Amino acid sequence: QGGQPQQGGRGGQRHEQRPPQNAQSSQAYQRPLQPPVTIPREQAVGGEQDALARVGTPLGDAAATVFAQLRNGQPLPVRQLAAMMRKRNLVETDPEQLAPQLKAELLGDERSYRTLGLRPRIVYRGRDLFAPGPVSMSQTADAEAGVATAMSRLAGATHRALAQRIIKASPAGFERLIHAYLVAAGYREIAWVKRIGGISYAQATAPGIERMVLISARSGAEPIDRRGIGELRVGVEAKNLVAGILISGPELSEDAEKELERAGRSIAVMCGDQLVAALIATGVGVVSAAAPLHYVDDQLLDELLAG
């Protein structure tokens, strides 16, 4: 499944369209709580692009800090956890307002660990209760946190390296890259119909809607101006297609953002970090590998070795 382009169209609305995509036992002794994942400075200052690739979430880091200070392994209601994070100056948002976002991010935090084969540092217990995962009480907690940190560092470095290669691509090379992405993402009947000034246009049947769309693949390092949106919208209307998709390595300029919000045929954009994330998600331009990880089964050993 591919990336999720932003959309602009009638009414000036923008959104992201979706692609057609255990109880903790008591411990025999107190083990050290797992520390929060440490994000290196060069990755932390990278901003949004690294947030797309890192292991865990920012609010997950803050919640892990709270659980590490409590050291009792007990589950907490999400609102109480939000209040404790605010009391410790880990967040600035009012706890009542933060609670829904905190729940969503903690669920995402757990999912990001499990997706990579890592034991989650925080687990959901149902009924808005969250607790430190079994790893937090394990003797291998520090080592496992180090693995998560290393994977975050690698993910961020891969994201940045791929973004740089995209920006430097020639028009022909960028077109080939986008063609490979479109195939991987499930587009069909892809036909490149026009090439001009570093811009390649294609028509393709989009997955999910099974309708023909017009795609504009714009190479180069300059931010997309308002003409990039306007020209694509004109082409969509001229061909009487349902929508257009603009794909580029750089982000949109402020003028392009405003143009995107104007009324007219629906235009989706997949630019900058969003494009990089989509390529990684579809396996285009990256190679994925799995490494064997072995964890101590504390729960089983506690049961077998008790007494």
Mean pLDDT confidence for 211-232: 95
Residues 157 and 49 in one domain: yes
- 130: closest CA among 194, 188, 84? 84
Say what the pLDDT of residue 116 is.
86
Residues 154 and 192 in one domain: no
* Among candidate residues 129, 144, 165, the one where a domain is terminated: 165
Residues 190 and 155 in one domain: no
Say what the pLDDT of residue 20 is.
36
Mean pLDDT confidence for 160-178: 97
Q: How far separated are the first and last CA of the chain, in Å rounded?
A: 51
Least confident of 23-27, 196-200, 201-205: 23-27
Reported as a single tens digit per residue, the pLDDT across 28-43 is 323 333 344 443 433 3
Q: In which domain, by residue range, is 62 found?
A: 41-165
pTM of the prediction? 0.75
- Does residue 260 belong to any structural domain of this protein? yes
Say what the pLDDT of residue 47 is.
40
Residues 148 and 182 in one domain: no
Reported as a single tens digit per residue, the pLDDT across 99-141 is 999 999 999 999 999 988 899 999 999 999 999 998 888 889 8
- Does residue 5 belong to any structural domain of this protein? no
CATH number at residue 45: 1.10.10
